[in-house]
């Protein structure tokens, strides 16, 4: 149906009476044209009875009227709104009075209008091929879509219907765009970490592939100038021989060089224990690239998440028979709706107070098995009576089985509670895990003395693993506690007394000596001032200086004063730590921001605060949040294993960086050739 927007019928007259003539012939019957299209077109007579519309920008002409037939304005709107006017595209910044706006359901209304006109405040945005390519690359990175998606017929059809002008992309093109996005985000992150005033801690997690290749995920942990803890994936290094003694050394060297971290490394946490030969390869490298803090005692540690997963595997292995019985019973209930209804009916009749629901576990994550056992144990009465309502159910565990299941849960619960902290907090966990590891250690010590051989033997197997972790990491965990003004040395003294008994003073002295020796190292070998830290120092007086102060600070006559400061500095800074330790403990409030406290007290404890910043940035786990409860090694999927190592690194790192915020989007893509 022809749309007429520039003419209106005068009441009482028919359309036949509105024969088209020149505007001068009917000045009264014709009203002013209201369509915005006439801001871009003019009407000109071409011949007798024939008029055409001319675009003011590109001078292209369009049919308007021939005799009594009027073409309307729809085709004129398309010329402007669809971006086919070349002159308008070239001068889009000069005039923003465009139209055709999309329907917004948030504005109300049941159906979108057939046409909406663009207001002067809503500019027409022309199609931009480079920007679309940039957004497709971001989409693929953020959602882990395969790079080949741009060649899939369904994707091509969708994009062509959405924007016919979009050029089809190849695998190589989108691969280059993804790497370009990675490079932009990497530069943004490098600019950010240049201003980090403290040292960096690294975690290393080894993944495997179906090609027997290894991929070392290296993640950096650090505290920024605002005393906020950060975590970023730095590198994903492909190692062709992951079992070799030099594999991790090579990956660490590549990371230190790539991010200019030589001299700034504070600690390393490994997801898998290093062999003695691996340590022998690693220590010389770190001695050359990085000064060893406290003679390397804080440098290398194991991952607490993997230690707890190994202990959980001991529990699951010891109770695998009863776990299978309970899993089969849960499977029977959940396999059909009728079985589930009967189970709920029995539960309601017995008035079992449990609010937990049955579910099948994921046998690759031990926490789901624990939760399945815990829920089933609370509902054991329902299972015991279910056969009276459902004769087909013949899998009910015995009372001895339920007792054993509760024993397994008692071993798994402390591990589950501790590991859950790693998935729910971004605060420094190194303080928390001093208490958690100590508590697990004490509980297992009690279980070993049990008269039940099953409990005693299982506790011994688990304690061997927690003992090894405690031996390797208790010093750094204790130092982190000392840096918490709610605990300081008092919690260390209390905990060590519970563990070591009469030998506790020896171990307490080891921590006290270590914290003092580390402090002296910070006094003697401070990090060079970064631009960010220099701004903090210069801004200590809120930027308020006067001319006399400027002259005094620049006066070369104070050189003797500088010598005096250097001579007395060591003694003064040593008392800084003692002063902190002698002050009263802060109240043990639950919601306490220890980094925020050091931020407020950095001027009072200038050297000690730098040491606290580095210690509190130490991670206790090298596993990603979603892998905390895994009992199997992580494996790169088949698709990503088929990509080039550089592309794998770009996709994984860029996804992590985009999650925390992106640098400014640029229309111009970095062109990558493949």
Q: Over 70: is that where the pLDDT of 674 sits?
A: no
Plot region of 72 (φ>0 → left; ψ -120 to 50 → alpha; else → beta): left
**Residues 605-615 as b or e (16 or more Cβ within 10 Å = b):** bebbbbbbbbb
Note whether residue 620 is domain-resident.
no
Residue 75: domain span: 38-84
Whether 142 contacts 161, CB under 8 Å: no
Q: Which of 456, 472, 488 is the last residue of a domain?
A: 472
Tell me what pLDDT residue 386 has. Answer: 87
> What are the Cα distances from residue 623, in Å, to 240, 282, 441?
22, 21, 22
| Residues in Cβ contact with 447 at an 8 Å cutoff, skipping those fewer than 6 apart | 411, 455, 456, 458, 459
| Averaged pLDDT, 650-673 | 65
Whether 304 contacts 476, CB under 8 Å: no
Helix (H/G/I), strand (E/B), else coil: 409: helix
Note whether residue 414 is domain-resident.
yes
Nearest to 211 by CA among 524, 537, 662, 635: 635
Q: What value does the mean pLDDT of the chain take?
A: 81
Q: What is the pTM of this model?
A: 0.74
> What are the Cα distances from residue 40, in Å, to 90, 95, 608?
15, 11, 70
Q: Which of 405, 437, 472 is the last residue of a domain?
A: 472
| pLDDT band, residue 527 (cuts 50/70/90) | low
Whether 631 contacts 152, CB under 8 Å: no
Nearest to 396 by CA among 329, 313, 309: 329
| Residues in Cβ contact with 462 at an 8 Å cutoff, skipping those fewer than 6 apart | 311, 314, 315, 411, 444
Note whether residue 351 is domain-resident.
yes
Q: Which of 41-50, 512-521, 605-614, 634-643 has the lowest mean pLDDT?
A: 41-50
Q: Which of 472, 493, 525 is the last residue of a domain?
A: 472
Note whether residue 598 is domain-resident.
no
The predicted-structure confidence for 229-272, as pLDDT tens digits, reads as follows 999 999 999 999 888 888 888 899 999 999 999 888 999 999 87
| Residues in Cβ contact with 56 at an 8 Å cutoff, skipping those fewer than 6 apart | 40, 41, 42
- Residue 521 CA to residue 21 CA, distance in Å, equals 97
| Residues in Cβ contact with 38 at an 8 Å cutoff, skipping those fewer than 6 apart | 6
Tell me what pLDDT residue 573 has. Answer: 45
Helix axes 488-500, 504-524, angle to 10 degrees: 150
Q: Over 70: is that where the pLDDT of 464 sits?
A: yes
Note whether residue 395 is domain-resident.
yes
Element (H, E) at 47: strand 41-47
Tally the domains of the chain: 2
The predicted-structure confidence for 341-392, as pLDDT tens digits, reads as follows 888 988 888 888 888 888 899 999 999 999 999 999 999 998 988 888 888 8
DSSP 8-state code for residue 36: G
The predicted-structure confidence for 557-581, as pLDDT tens digits, reads as follows 566 666 666 556 555 545 789 999 9
> What are the Cα distances from residue 384, in Å, to 361, 404, 408?
21, 16, 20
| Averaged pLDDT, 162-190 | 92
Note whether residue 600 is domain-resident.
no
Note whether residue 230 is domain-resident.
no
The predicted-structure confidence for 85-136, as pLDDT tens digits, reads as follows 766 555 544 444 444 344 444 444 444 444 444 444 555 667 888 889 999 9
- Residue 191 CA to residue 183 CA, distance in Å, equals 12
DSSP 8-state code for residue 393: -
Task: State in Å, rounded, how far the first CA of the chain is from the last one.
Answer: 52
- Residue 29 CA to residue 13 CA, distance in Å, equals 10
- ∠ Cα 196 202 207 (to 5°): 140
Tell me what pLDDT residue 301 has. Answer: 82
Q: Over 90: is that where the pLDDT of 672 sits?
A: no
Q: Over 50: is that where the pLDDT of 460 sits?
A: yes
Q: Over 80: is that where the pLDDT of 21 sits?
A: no
Q: What is the largest CA-CA distance in the chain?
A: 116
- ∠ Cα 135 136 142 (to 5°): 85
Note whether residue 443 is domain-resident.
yes
Q: Which residues pair with 65 in a beta bridge?
A: 51, 70
- Residue 466 CA to residue 477 CA, distance in Å, equals 14
């Amino acid at each position: 149906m022809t749309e007429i927007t520039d003419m209106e019928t005068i009441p009482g007259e028919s359309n036949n009476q509105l024969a088209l003539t020149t505007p001068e012939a009917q000045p009264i019957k014709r009203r002013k044209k209201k369509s915005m299209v006439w801001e871009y077109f003019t009407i000109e007579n071409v011949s007798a009875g024939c008029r055409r519309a001319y675009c003011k920008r590109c001078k292209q002409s369009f049919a308007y009227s021939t005799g009594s037939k009027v073409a309307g304005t729809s085709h004129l709107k398309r010329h402007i709104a669809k971006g086919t006017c070349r002159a308008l595209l070239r001068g889009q910044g000069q005039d923003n009075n465009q139209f055709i706006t999309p329907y917004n359901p948030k504005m109300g209304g049941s159906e979108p209008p057939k046409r909406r006109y663009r207001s002067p405040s809503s500019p027409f945005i022309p199609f931009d091929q480079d920007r679309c390519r940039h957004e497709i690359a971001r989409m693929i990175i953020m959602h882990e879509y395969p790079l080949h998606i741009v060649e899939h017929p369904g994707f091509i059809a969708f994009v062509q219907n959405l924007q016919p002008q979009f050029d089809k992309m190849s695998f190589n093109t989108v691969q280059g765009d993804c790497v370009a996005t990675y490079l932009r985000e990497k530069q943004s992150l490098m600019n950010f970490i240049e201003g980090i005033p403290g040292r960096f801690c690294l975690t290393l997690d080894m993944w495997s592939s179906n090609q027997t290749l290894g991929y070392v995920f290296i993640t950096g942990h650090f505290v920024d100038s605002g005393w906020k803890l950060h975590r970023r994936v730095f590198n994903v290094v492909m190692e062709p021989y992951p079992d070799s003694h030099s594999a991790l050394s090579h990956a660490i060297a590549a990371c230190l060089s790539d991010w200019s971290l030589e001299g700034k490394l504070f600690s390393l946490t490994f997801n898998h224990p290093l062999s003695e030969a691996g340590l022998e390869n690693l220590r010389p490298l770190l001695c050359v690239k990085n000064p060893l803090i406290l003679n390397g005692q804080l440098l290398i540690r194991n991952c607490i998440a993997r230690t707890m997963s190994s202990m959980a595997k001991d529990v699951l292995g010891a109770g695998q028979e009863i776990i299978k019985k309970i899993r089969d019973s849960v499977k029977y209930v959940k396999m059909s709706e009728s079985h589930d209804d009967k189970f709920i009916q029995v539960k309601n009749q017995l008035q079992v107070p449990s609010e937990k629901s049955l579910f099948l576990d994921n046998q690759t994550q031990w926490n789901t098995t624990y939760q399945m056992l815990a829920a089933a144990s609370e509902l054991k009465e329902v299972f015991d009576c279910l056969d009276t309502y459902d004769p087909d159910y013949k899998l009910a565990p015995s009372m001895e089985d339920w007792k054993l299941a509760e024993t397994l849960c008692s071993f798994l619960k402390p591990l589950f509670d501790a590991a859950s902290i790693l998935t729910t907090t971004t605060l420094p966990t190194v303080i928390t895990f001093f208490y958690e590891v100590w508590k697990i250690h004490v509980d297992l010590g009690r279980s070993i003395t049990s008269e039940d051989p099953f409990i005693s033997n299982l506790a011994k197997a688990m304690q061997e693993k927690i003992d090894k972790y405690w031996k390797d990491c208790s010093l750094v965990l204790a130092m982190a506690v000392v840096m918490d003004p709610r605990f300081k040395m008092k919690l260390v003294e209390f905990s060590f007394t519970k563990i070591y008994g009469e030998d506790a003073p020896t171990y307490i002295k080891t921590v006290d000596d270590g914290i003092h020796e580390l402090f002296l190292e910070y006094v003697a070998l401070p990090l060079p001032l970064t631009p960010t830290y220099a701004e903090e120092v210069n801004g200590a007086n809120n930027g308020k200086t006067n001319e006399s102060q400027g002259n005094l600070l620049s006066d070369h006559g104070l050189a003797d004063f500088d010598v005096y400061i250097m001579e007395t500095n060591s003694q003064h800074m040593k008392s800084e730590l003692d002063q902190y330790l002698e002050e009263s403990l802060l109240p043990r409030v639950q919601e306490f921001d220890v980094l925020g406290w050091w931020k407020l007290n950095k001027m009072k404890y200038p050297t000690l605060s730098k040491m606290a910043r580095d210690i509190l940035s130490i991670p206790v786990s090298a596993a990603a949040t979603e892998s905390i409860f895994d009992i199997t090694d992580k494996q790169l999927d088949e698709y990503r294993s088929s990509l080039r190592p550089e592309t794998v690194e770009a996709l994984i790192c860029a996804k992590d960086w985009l999650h925390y915020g992106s640098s400014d989007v640029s229309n111009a893509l970095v062109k990558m050739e493949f």
